[in-house]
Amino acid sequence: MNILNNLVFIAFLISIMYFIVKHFIFKIDKDENKPNSEYYRKIIFKDSVLIFILSYAVLYTKKYLLESEVVQTKIFTNEPNF
């Protein structure tokens, strides 16, 4: 599953999930003072784009800048020379 390791794909999934959840919350909200749905969709879309950019930046930073090199211990399998 090489596509699941792609940072753009993961960031896209995060932003889509955010968009779906916020839209669902807007639909079930019974508030009288709700803004109109077209304006709210624009706001949700802008927030989703921002979430995409931020999640990509965080994933990129985590993968490439904060990754520490793992040093493997050398194992001697031969008989000692002493």
Tell me the average confidence (pLDDT) per consecutive run of 10 residues in the chain, 82 residues long.
Answer: 78 95 85 75 93 94 79 74 70
Domain spans of the chain? 2-65
The Cα 14–Cα 6 span in angstroms is 13
The Cα 43–Cα 40 span in angstroms is 5
Which of these, 17, 4, 11, lies nearest to 52 by C-alpha position? 11
- Whether the model clears a pTM of 0.85, i.e. scores above it, the answer is no
Q: Where are the beta strands (DSSP E) in 5-79?
A: none
Cβ 47 vs Cβ 18: under 8 Å: yes
Cβ 48 vs Cβ 14: under 8 Å: no
